[in-house]
């Protein structure tokens, strides 16, 4: 591996981890502001609408966000900028057309959906803002992933949306909502309008930056291979398997909001929302550290060093699990008063839901980084199978649980789905790679993790110093 490629991987990993950290902090502040300034019913509506937007935005991309990363990177690697432009243009046009059509359908189905499916008629009056948010957020994601395909992780992180840890959208939205809260002007409509305007601003800047970069790019290799005929049919054919896997993954994470709203009141949905968002803090250290693992896993697998890969994955997981375990203990011991102090007395009732969801996250922590290992070793089909089975179990469990016990039952169903998915993922890594990905807290293994991460950060610092 060349020195330049290693530096790009390290730099990209640091930008991605930084973006994730900013997104986590901003999301926590955002939910704190909304819970404090909106009624529980309105906050429940906000949670369900945002979950719906994330699901629909994934539907609208049709897998183009994955295709643009794969083929733009390939064409750029051989110097074929004609191919790069062709892929970018066709994928973006496909996303814009699909999103426009989905927005039109969703606008007319909004009254039925929020009356009969999730039972939140208060959201119907926000249909115009929801359609605008769906359109701009989907285009924003596509533009951000285009930068990722160009190996510009900094651009992808700066211009990304909430789902892909965008720094600008997080800071702009969070800062504006803090001002609205301080001035007493916060309403549910104002929260959505702020998000729409922030996303639109990022889209404008990202589109201008991308256009400028593609226009000024030169063709360094006269004998670059042909870019082929990138028709809409071709990109759809290439993208649908990746789209299906991405959609199933997003549904597993976001569909709980639909179940909660379908089986309980808006006020209780707000309790589920706070618990769901708060428990993300528990796995934040593991999520951030995992941002640095993909290139390491891919490189070691290519060398055939599976045992070393196993040791590093266990080490990194063990190191990241330590703060996760501390956070879990704090949730169990003082979770109820913390919820009341941060979000208001009403949200103390979210404590049982928080504990249940935390149990589900224990499996995510203990089983380690199989979510990184499987796709980075070419086991994409196995990843899809794990996601499908876990999703099916989660949907069944949430349906039964929601019918019997409302939002508490939905939390139990989510916990069952998490346990199922992580056990299946751990087993898949063992069966196909012969390794265990579960964490290790042995001193020697943790020392390996510290050494690895120190080298990654140390390798990044000189490059940044030279750039300065």
| 235 membership: H or E segment, kind and range | helix 232-254
Give the pLDDT score at 379: 81
Give residue limits of the domains in the chain. 1-254, 255-468
Give the pLDDT score at 193: 94
Residue 441, judged by CB atoms within 10 A of its CB (0-12, 13-18, 19+), counts as middle
DSSP string, 198-217: HHHHHHHHHHHHHHHHHHH-
Instruction: Indicate the pTM of the whole model.
Output: 0.81
Extract the tokens encoding 412: 């139990």
Per-residue buried b or exposed e for 98-137, using 16+ beta carbons within 10 Å of the residue's own CB? bbeebbeebeeebeebbeeebbbeebeebbebbbbbbbbb
Q: Which residues contact 112 (CB under 8 A, 6 or more apart)?
A: none
Distance (Å, whole) CA 351 – CA 341: 13
Distance (Å, whole) CA 77 – CA 73: 6
Q: How far is CA 142 from the centre of its chain?
A: 14
Task: Report helix, strand or coil for 124.
Answer: helix
Residues lower than pLDDT 50 in the chain = 1-2, 5, 223-224, 460, 462-468
* φ and ψ at residue 187, rounded to 5 degrees: -135, 170
Residue in the structure block whose two tokens are 């930056």:
209
Extract the tokens encoding 172: 């702009």
Among the listed residues 336, 373, 340, the one whose alpha carbon sits nearest the alpha carbon of residue 358: 336
| 160 membership: H or E segment, kind and range | none
CB 317 within 8 A of CB 286: yes
Among the listed residues 64, 438, 58, the one whose alpha carbon sits nearest the alpha carbon of residue 253: 58
Give the pLDDT score at 99: 96
> With the C-alpha atoms ordered 350, 355, 359, 364, is the resulting torsion angle positive or negative?
positive
| CA atoms in the 13 A half-sphere facing the CB of 26 | 23
Give the pLDDT score at 3: 52
Residues 267-303 have pLDDT tens digits of 999 999 999 888 877 777 777 766 667 767 877 787 8
């Amino acid at each position: 591996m060349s020195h330049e490629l290693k530096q790009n991987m390290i730099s990209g990993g640091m930008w991605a981890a930084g973006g994730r950290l900013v997104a986590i902090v901003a999301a926590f502040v955002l939910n704190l502001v909304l819970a404090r300034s909106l009624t529980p019913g309105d906050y429940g509506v906000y949670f369900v609408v945002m979950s719906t937007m994330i699901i629909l935005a994934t539907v609208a991309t049709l897998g183009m966000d994955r295709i643009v990363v794969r083929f733009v990177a390939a064409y750029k690697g051989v110097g074929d900028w004609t191919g790069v432009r062709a892929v970018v243009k066709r994928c973006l046009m496909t996303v814009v057309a699909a999103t426009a059509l989905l927005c039109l359908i969703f606008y007319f189905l909004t009254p039925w959906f929020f009356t009969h499916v999730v039972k939140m008629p208060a959201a119907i009056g926000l249909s115009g803002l929801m359609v605008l948010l769906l359109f701009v957020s989907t285009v924003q994601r596509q533009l951000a992933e285009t930068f990722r395909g160009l190996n510009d992780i900094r651009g992808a992180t700066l211009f990304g949306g909430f789902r892909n840890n965008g720094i600008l959208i997080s800071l702009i939205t969070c800062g504006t909502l803090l001002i609205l809260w301080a001035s007493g002007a916060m309403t549910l409509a104002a929260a959505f309008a702020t998000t729409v305007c922030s996303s639109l601003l990022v889209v404008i800047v990202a589109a201008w930056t991308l256009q400028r970069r593609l226009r000024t790019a030169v063709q360094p290799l006269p004998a670059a291979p042909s870019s082929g005929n990138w028709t809409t049919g071709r990109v759809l054919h290439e993208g649908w398997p990746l789209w299906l896997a991405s959609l199933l993954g997003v549904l597993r994470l976001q569909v709980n909001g639909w179940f909660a709203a379908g089986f309980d009141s808006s006020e209780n949905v707000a309790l589920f929302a706070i618990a769901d968002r708060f428990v993300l803090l528990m796995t934040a250290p593991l999520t951030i550290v995992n941002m640095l693992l993909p290139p390491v896993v891919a490189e070691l697998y290519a060398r055939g060093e599976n045992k070393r890969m196993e040791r590093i994955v266990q080490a990194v997981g063990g190191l990241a699990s330590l703060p996760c375990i501390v956070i879990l203990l704090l949730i169990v011991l003082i979770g109820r008063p913390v919820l009341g102090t941060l979000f208001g007395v009403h949200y103390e009732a979210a404590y049982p839901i928080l504990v249940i969801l935390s149990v589900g996250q224990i499996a995510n922590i203990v089983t380690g980084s199989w979510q990184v290992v499987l796709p980075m070793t070419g086991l994409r089909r196995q990843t899809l199978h794990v996601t499908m089975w876990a999703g099916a179990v989660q949907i069944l469990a949430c349906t039964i649980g929601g019918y019997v016990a409302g939002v508490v039952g939905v939390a139990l169903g989510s916990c069952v789905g998490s346990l199922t998915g992580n056990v299946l993922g751990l087993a898949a890594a063992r069966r196909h790679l012969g390794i265990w990905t579960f964490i290790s807290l042995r001193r020697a293994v943790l020392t390996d993790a510290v050494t690895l991460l120190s080298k990654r950060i140390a390798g990044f610092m000189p490059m940044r110093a030279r750039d300065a």
